[in-house]
């Protein structure tokens, strides 16, 4: 089984900093009567498409199915499996996404990139093949983050932590 790459959108791919860091392009999205402004880095699409050779990409974003409708095309990504969040009630000290991620992934290997996770979420998945990778939502995914994702698993799917 290939490892999963679970993708949060706001923060890792659409930084919270206004104005965004250099390299991000402004996109206006509209659907029905709603509209949004997001800032995307074209290199992220390139990196993610390359990672799809190793990982099965999955949306783990509060945009839920909207990520496929509105965001995947902007990043040059295909329609991806999507984790849904029936209840977003805050959980003290932990991301409200974590129980849903745990249920969705089961025993599969993964790297989960998210700017809303911390030590408790990392510790929630003690297996070395299940990696929670906190991202700085002010910068979005950096070259160092992508290097870490690429190095998370060797070709045989085993963790390659050194
Ligand atoms: Mg986020």
Tell me whether residue 100 is exposed, middle or buried, using C-beta atoms within 10 angstroms of its C-beta: 0 to 12, 13 to 18, 19 or more. Answer: middle
| 161 is a domain residue | no
Q: Model confidence at 155, in pLDDT bands (50, 70, 90)?
A: low
| 157 is a domain residue | no
User: Would you say residue 161 has pLDDT above 90?
Assistant: no
The Å distance, Cα 39 to ligand 1 centre, comes to 13
Q: Model confidence at 80, in pLDDT bands (50, 70, 90)?
A: very high
The Å distance, Cα 11 to ligand 1 centre, comes to 5
| 51 is a domain residue | yes
Task: Name beta bridge partners: 1.
Answer: none
- Quick one: pLDDT at residue 157? 47
Tell me whether residue 92 is exposed, middle or buried, using C-beta atoms within 10 angstroms of its C-beta: 0 to 12, 13 to 18, 19 or more. Answer: exposed
CATH number, domain containing residue 71: 3.40.50
| 155 is a domain residue | no
DSSP, residue by residue, 47-74: HHHHHTTTSEEEE-STTTHHIIIIIHHH
The Å distance, Cα 61 to ligand 1 centre, comes to 7
The Å distance, Cα 115 to ligand 1 centre, comes to 5
Task: Give the integer Cα–Cα distance in Å for 89 and 1.
Answer: 32
| 159 is a domain residue | no
Count: domains in the chain: 1
User: Would you say residue 51 has pLDDT above 80?
Assistant: yes
The Å distance, Cα 12 to ligand 1 centre, comes to 7
| 34 is a domain residue | yes
The Å distance, Cα 160 to ligand 1 centre, comes to 26
- Quick one: pLDDT at residue 115? 98
CB 27, CB 40: distance < 8 Å: yes
| 115 is a domain residue | yes
For 92, the domain range is: 4-150
């Amino acid at each position: 089984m290939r490892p999963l790459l679970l993708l949060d959108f706001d923060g890792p791919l659409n930084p919270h900093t206004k104005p965004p860091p250099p390299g991000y392009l402004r996109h206006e999205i509209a659907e029905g009567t709603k509209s949004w402004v997001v800032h995307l880095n074209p290199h992220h699409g390139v990196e993610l498409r390359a990672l799809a050779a190793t990982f099965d990409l999955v949306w783990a974003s509060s945009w839920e199915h909207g990520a496929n409708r509105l965001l995947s095309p902007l990043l040059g990504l295909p329609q991806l499996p999507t984790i849904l969040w029936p209840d977003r009630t805050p959980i003290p000290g932990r991301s409200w996404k974590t129980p849903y991620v745990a249920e969705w992934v089961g025993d599969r290997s993964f790297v989960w990139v998210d700017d809303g996770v911390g030590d408790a979420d990392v510790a929630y998945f003690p297996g070395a093949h299940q990696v929670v990778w906190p991202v700085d939502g002010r910068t979005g995914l950096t070259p160092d983050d992508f290097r870490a994702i690429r190095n998370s698993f060797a070709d045989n799917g085993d963790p390659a932590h050194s």
